[in-house]
Every structure is written in C-alpha cells, then in structure tokens.
Amino acid sequence: MQSRAGIVRLWLFTSACCFLLIAAPAGAAPDKQPEGKSVDSGSFGVFMNGKRIATETFAIQQSSAGSSVTSEFKAEAGTDRAAQSCNLQLDSKGELKSYEWRESSPGQSHASVVPDQDFLIERYGSNPQEKVHEQPFLLPASTSILDDYFFVQREVLAWKYLATSCKQENGQIACPIRQSAQLGTLNAHARSSGPVSIQYAGREKVSIRGAEQDLIRLDVKAESGDWTLWLDNQLKLQRILDSASNTEVIRD
C-alpha cells in the first residue's frame, strides 16, 4: 500500500511543495517501461433516489514514467444498457499524455485527446466506420479530464487540488478553510471545457453503509452542477453527493 505522501506527490506541479517525484528504479534499462504500482482500485456504486443504477470499476497505476487511470462504467438496468470505458495516461508531473474514451453500448462512439503544443486536440466519431472529426481546445496539458460517467476522475481531481493548494503538517493534510481554488477541466464525452472551483470544508463524520467515518470533505462547483466529495485518510474517494439530482456515488 502506498503512503499518503506518495499519492500526493504524484500530482506535484511545483518544487515548492517539498515532495520528490518518484525516481526510476536503480539498474532499470533505459528503454524498459517501469513497472507500475497500484495506487487505488475497486468499484463505485452509483445510486439515484436510493436505487443502484450503475457500477464503475477502476484502477490507478503509478510508475516513475507517470500514471494510468482506467475505468469501465456499466448501467445496471434498461433495454439499452450503457457501457463505456476510458484510459487516462499522465506523465510524472500529472500532465496529460493521452486520453481514450469508448462506448460499447448502446452505441459505438469514441474519442481521444492528446496535447499538441499549446492545444489539446480531440478526435471523435459516432462509430468506427465514420470519418474521424477533430476539435482543438486552447488548453494546456495540465488540464484535468473530467468526463461524465467516470467518478474516479473526481478522485484524481481531488488529488491535484490537495497537491497544489494544501500542505502536510505533522503527517496530516492541511488546507485553507473555505478558500476556493480553480482548476481547468475538459469533458471529452461532451466536447466541452470549463473551470471547476474546489474548496476544503474540513472534516466531517459521514455514515456510509451503516458505519460512521471521519472523512475529508471537499466542495466542488462547476457549470454542470455542484457536488460534494468525501475522502478518507489515505485520500481515497469514499462518497460523492449531487444533491440537485439526488445522485450518490459510494465506494463498494
């Protein structure tokens, strides 16, 4: 199990944070891809009005070369059960290397995002036979991918906020109370971009599956809506709440 400091330093963007990026393994061949370590994996249940409607299964791997975030989303019911997958590749600074999104049901849409100098280029299509379209976004590689159905990307966003806006004191995360920070995001599925505002709201006792937990609370505001995130002491996302739509996401 990786330490909290190790998870946070994955998202280091400035030398002022006092964390070191992971060094390459001693004796590793220069042309050999470093072996990744698991940072987090598992599944989230998605509930609407108290009823489970979908499951997201995810894995986050980290190495000296960067990290990968893979996820599969499947609806629980319906005649056209939604099924989508994504693969987010980040470099050792947490900046975008590539992003792939695919829909396998009910359609076969696909999209990919790669950096190109000062732009992010998205290529997309509604099926494999259709001509691929291209759309540029004047956004840096530090932009966070925040797609519609992949809640693990909210965890990654939370880590970025904690690494850039907070510090460690006596082994604990210390953040400015009620002081918001803005981060740029790209929704590849909707082909839209926009800022999100995140602020630390302190610690809160939350009941999850009948057990009370003392969790870190982050409040997130975006054009698409507001949601609340709760993370444990290992900075793993435990719960998301979108009160406007009565949607709740809970780690299984």
Determine the Cα–Cα distance for residues 191 and 141; give it in Å rounded to an integer: 16
| Whole-number Å distance between alpha carbons of 83 and 95 | 27
**What would the 3-class secondary structure string for 9-33 be?**
HCCCCCHHHCCCCCCCCCCCCCCCC
The answer to whether the Cα torsion of 141, 142, 147, 151 is positive or negative is positive
> In the prediction, which pLDDT does 57 show?
98
Q: Model-level pTM? A: 0.85
State the Cα torsion 157-159-161-162 to the nearest 10°.
Answer: 160
Q: Residue 229 belongs to what domain range? A: 4-251
Q: What is the pLDDT of residues 20-61, one digit of tens each?
A: 222 233 333 434 445 679 999 999 999 999 999 999 999 999
Residue 160: pLDDT band (50, 70, 90) is very high
Contact 79, 62 (CB under 8 A): no
Provide the phi-psi class of 193: left if phi over 0, else alpha when psi is between -120 and 50, else beta.
Answer: beta
Cα-Cα-Cα-Cα dihedral sign, residues 180, 183, 186, 189: negative
The count of domains in the chain is: 1
pLDDT above 60: residue 167: yes
What is the DSSP track for 221-243?
EETTEEEEEEE-TT--EEEEEET
Only one residue has tokens 């780690």, namely 251
